[in-house]
Amino acid sequence: MTRALVVPVQADDGHRFELIGRVPQQPRAQLLWLPALGVSARNYQPFADALAARGISVFLHEWRGNGSSSLRPSRAQDWGYREILEQDLPASLAALRLHGTAPLIIGGHSLGGQLACVFAGLHPSVFARFWLVATGTPYWRTFPAPRGWTLPLVYRLLPWLAQRQGVLHGRRLGFGGTEARGLIRDWARVGLNNHYAAEGVQADLEGGMRRLHGHADAVVLADDWLAPPGSMQGLLAKLPQVASTLSVVPAGTLGTRADHFAWMKAPEAVVKALFHSFE
């Protein structure tokens, strides 16, 4: 039997949010899962249920500004990678640890997969396995032409829009939700130069990832133009001491569209791919 949990969390700066948990009776491992940009944790409940059925305890992190978060971005309320890496994710990790002692996995979807790797690099002894789905570096050169050629313009335009408007109204653009301008600046900088850094963070984020050890199970959806194989390979290249397995899942195997989001409602094929080297 799987227990469904809602765990209240408060970061050191007062930000409040909830972790959604799925905990089987005898967990083989615990997963801290980070969502895609603009996606609330509750949208990953089918994925968490499928993993829990295989013995994985899952805790779904909530991004600052989304879903259960006590904050919303505005001209007066801004944040970037620093608040996520130094405030929110440590609070989620501490809450997760109160619910078991099984080995820890960190993973995520899209932006969540990127920041899962970055956060692990800041805590290199904590995680030995990484589950990455439909993610990769946003660096424009890792995307196939001609789409990749247009991305430098996007990475300059979106921060400008966010600064001008106070937030990025991503839903109007078909990209993310209502996003903090600092978050968009940090993300776009990686897209331009392929170097993970964050305003206000002194740690060497790239160096932290290079020092990681363990195993990464990476899953790309065959028709996902937002996270093509080259982008995932670019992210895995930042983990040179981590052994990795890369699976490309087509629509026929998935049972639905093999795009960036459809797998969330039909996660079985993705779960099976993640377990390829875990069994």
Residues 199-245: tens digit of each pLDDT: 999 999 999 999 999 999 999 999 999 999 999 999 999 999 999 99
Helices (H), the chain: 45-52, 81-83, 89-97, 111-122, 147-165, 170-173, 181-193, 205-210, 229-236, 251-254, 268-274
Average pLDDT over residues 92-101: 94
Whether 2 has a pLDDT exceeding 70, the answer reads yes
pLDDT at 276: 82
Average pLDDT over residues 140-150: 96
If DSSP codes are grouped into helix, strand and coil, which group holds residue 6? Answer: strand
CA distances from 251 to 179, 211, 221, 254, 273 (A): 30, 35, 8, 5, 14
The conformational region for residue 102 under phi > 0 = left, psi -120 to 50 = alpha, else beta, is beta
The residues near 136 (Cβ < 8 Å, ≥ 6 apart) are 113, 114, 142, 220, 227, 228, 230, 231, 232, 233, 234, 235
Average pLDDT over residues 55-65: 98
pLDDT at 279: 65
Residues 153-184: tens digit of each pLDDT: 999 999 999 999 999 999 988 888 999 999 99
pLDDT at 119: 98
pLDDT at 247: 97
Average pLDDT over residues 248-274: 97
Whether 79 has a pLDDT exceeding 90, the answer reads yes
pLDDT at 134: 98
Whether 277 has a pLDDT exceeding 90, the answer reads no
pLDDT at 226: 96
Provide Rg for the chain, Cα atoms. 17
pLDDT at 261: 97
Nearest to 184 by CA among 42, 66, 73, 35: 73
The residues near 19 (Cβ < 8 Å, ≥ 6 apart) are 5, 6, 7, 9, 41, 59, 60, 61, 62, 92, 95, 96
Nearest to 69 by CA among 93, 94, 105, 42: 42
Q: Which residue has the tokens 């970055």?
A: 118
Average pLDDT over residues 253-279: 94
pLDDT band at 91 (very low <50, low <70, confident <90, very high): very high
Q: Which of 53-62, 141-150, 179-188, 270-279 has the lowest mean pLDDT?
A: 270-279
| Tokens encoding 248 | 């490309």
pLDDT band at 144 (very low <50, low <70, confident <90, very high): very high
Residues 112-139: tens digit of each pLDDT: 999 999 999 999 999 989 999 999 999 9
Whether 99 has a pLDDT exceeding 80, the answer reads yes
> Taking all residues of the chain, what is their mean pLDDT, rounded to a whole number?
96
pLDDT band at 53 (very low <50, low <70, confident <90, very high): very high
